[in-house]
């Protein structure tokens, strides 16, 4: 932590934000405010749970 003018200042690098969880419902609720990604604005995202489900399906496919 940096000291500045007698008080301690917290640096953003020192903060712990925890695990980031993306919820489809939250993305869809705020999609009308999204101005960057078209996929995000349309709610076409792949959450970690979706990814893990698809990964499991693909890994269970037999090899040719």
What's the whole-model pTM score? 0.50
Which pLDDT value is given to residue 25? Answer: 84
- Cβ neighbours of 43 (radius 10 Å): 14
25-56 tens-digit pLDDT: 887 788 777 777 777 777 778 888 889 999 99
Which of 18, 20, 45, 19 shows the shortest CA–CA distance to 31?
Answer: 45
18-31 tens-digit pLDDT: 888 878 888 778 87
């Amino acid at each position: 932590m940096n000291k500045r003018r007698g008080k301690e200042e917290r640096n953003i690098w020192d903060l712990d934000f925890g695990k980031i969880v993306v919820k489809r419902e939250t993305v869809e609720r705020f999609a009308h405010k999204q101005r960057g990604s078209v996929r995000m604005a349309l709610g076409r995202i792949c959450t970690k749970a979706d990814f893990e489900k698809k990964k499991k399906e693909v890994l269970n496919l037999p090899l040719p």
